């Protein structure tokens, strides 16, 4: 049984990690454990680099909290200004004893009303809840789900990045 630690209690992130591992390694048996650990970055990371650091810190901190797992997965959502707009994305970092797998999700641009609230100090999820009259959307379909009419929800969005972060573990001889 392969033990995987998900560095989050968010059900969306847990399901994305589970989906990614099961798709990449369909003949394996897994045990998934979630743990809440600090990201070491702002609650709302405001750059690509800060978001990446948050995901890596989560994976590293989970490995300090629970020592005997095969993999540790950190997912961090972030935003970054681009010209007069703001893009949203997430980083996924998967850590094993001697390797890091890393991937970034696709990027999408945030509506102006949401950007305005973020610039006033709100996190993306809280701003989405205000603009779209939702409650705790970041633990459900998230901004990407709201904006695509759930064609791509937050779980699907993260799952693809988890799969890409697992490439070094599926192709060990190449990495």
Q: Compute the radius of gyration of the chain from its Cα atoms.
A: 16
68 assigned ligand-binding residue: yes
> What phi, psi does 91 have (nearest 5°)?
-110, 145
Q: For residues 55 and 90, what is the distance between their CA atoms, to the nearest angstrom?
A: 8
98 assigned ligand-binding residue: no
**CA 154 to chain centroid:** 9
Q: Which long-range contacts (CB under 8 A, 24 or more apart) does 167-171 make?
A: 167/101, 167/103, 168/99, 168/100, 168/101, 169/24, 169/71, 169/94, 169/96, 169/99, 169/101, 170/24, 170/25
Q: Which residues are annotated as a binding site?
A: 68-69
Q: Which residues are annotated as a binding site for substrate?
A: 68-69
- Binding annotation for Mg(2+): 68
């Amino acid at each position: 049984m392969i033990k995987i630690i998900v560095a989050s209690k968010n059900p969306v992130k847990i399901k994305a990690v589970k989906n990614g591992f099961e798709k990449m390694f369909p003949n394996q048996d897994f045990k998934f454990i979630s743990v809440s650990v600090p990201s070491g970055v702002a609650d709302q990371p405001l750059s690509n680099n800060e978001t990446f650091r948050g995901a890596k810190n989560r994976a590293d901190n989970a490995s300090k909290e629970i020592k005997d797992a095969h993999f540790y997965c950190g997912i961090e959502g972030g935003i970054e200004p681009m010209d007069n707009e703001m893009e949203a994305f997430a980083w996924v970092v998967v850590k094993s004893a001697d390797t890091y797998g890393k991937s970034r999700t696709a990027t999408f641009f945030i509506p102006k009303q949401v950007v305005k609230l973020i610039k006033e100090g709100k996190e993306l999820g809280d701003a989405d809840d205000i603009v779209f009259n939702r409650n705790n959307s970041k633990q459900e379909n998230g901004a990407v789900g709201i904006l695509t009419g759930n064609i791509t929800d937050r779980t699907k969005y993260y799952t693809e990045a988890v799969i890409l972060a697992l490439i070094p573990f599926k192709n060990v001889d190449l990495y």
